[in-house]
Amino acid sequence: MKSGEILLLTSGEIQGLLTLDECIGAVENAFRAYGKGRALPPAVLSMHTDAGGFHVKAGLLDLGRSYFAAKVNGNFPENGLRFGLPTIQGVIILCDARNGAPLAVMDSRHITSLRTAAATAVAAKYLARGDSRTVTVCGCGNQGRIQLSALARVCRLETAFAYDRDGDRALRFSEDLTSGLGISVKPVSDLAAAVRQSDICVTCTTSQEPLLDYDDVAPGTFIAAVGADNPQKQELHPSLMARSKIVCDILEQCAAMGDLHHALDAGFVTRANVHAELGEIVAGKKPGRESREEVTIFDSTGMALQDVAGAAFLYEKAQRDGSGVRLDFGA
């Protein structure tokens, strides 16, 4: 691009450029770089309204070229019913971190969905048992669909249970994913019973109260808690956190807004009880799963470096392919 030009990428263009497998690779590299100390801690700012809220996540990442990205997302759970709009909407701005020049502006929805599921897949590589075959997905919206697809990339899944408060949505999820992934996906009405039969559980809901307690989980289970991305949300009971191996995406962020936040506030754990950040495990500084029996939890609040990695990958691929619209803000 010419100096001063900014690349604009729409949601449709992004879906055509970034595959789930590519995103998993980019996200794993971002966690590895952070775990090796090659990236600064990312930053987050949140502001809440009566119906939802906004967050700004920003980070710097050197990928051969130094990039800065900031994502501004609105998260409004009732949008579908009230306005016919997606729950999550927003934009990512990507900049050259060497000189501050804006490089690209892109829709954030597909990147956010893919990079969130990609982090679960990366965590599963290190924290799930190698023979994991059965998974429960709690929350059958768009994120649940991508979560199951991502897990199928790194685990040899045979059976999945689909739980949602909306039974019809769980049924549609099961029909679509059975066909799309070629595994048996069954709708269930009893979450705890399904989780006790599972090797992996992913929770991706907007719940503000615990969905799972320790007695609901079998020994050796890997749990990815994805939904608690603000201080009001909670999916796991503090007693489950206290009796499991806890791995965070970003410790301080999870302490402020994840399921870890609630366990800390309830006095069930301290920061010292957290085994590791995922980057430390990916970088080989700390072990992942150490026994077949331990219950492992990935507290996933969404690390900004995931967004930087996804946005930078998209920008470079779009440059090679000639995709997107180029705008001259200096004209």
Largest CA distance in the chain: 63
Q: Which two tokens stand for residue 226?
A: 């994805």
Instruction: Classify residue 131 as exposed, middle or buried by CB count within 10 Å of its CB (0-12, 13-18, 19+).
Output: exposed
Residues 8 and 315: their CA atoms lie apart, in Å, by 9
* Residue among 71, 125, 233, 245 flagged as catalytic: 71
Q: At 128, is the secondary structure helix, strand, or coil?
A: coil
N residues, the chain: 331
71 is catalytic: yes
User: Kindly report the CA angle at 162 between 160 and 165, in degrees rounded to 5?
Assistant: 165
- Contact (CB, 8 A) for 192 and 127: no
CA 1 from centre of chain: 31
Residues 158 and 135: their CA atoms lie apart, in Å, by 9
Of 51, 73, 53, 70, the C-alpha closest to 61 is 70
- For residue 34, CA distances in Å to 27, 74, 201 come to 11, 26, 26
Residue 151 dihedral angles phi and psi, to the nearest 5°: -65, -35
- Contact (CB, 8 A) for 137 and 191: no
Residue 18 dihedral angles phi and psi, to the nearest 5°: -115, 115
Q: Which two tokens stand for residue 26?
A: 């980019």
The residues carrying an active-site annotation are 71
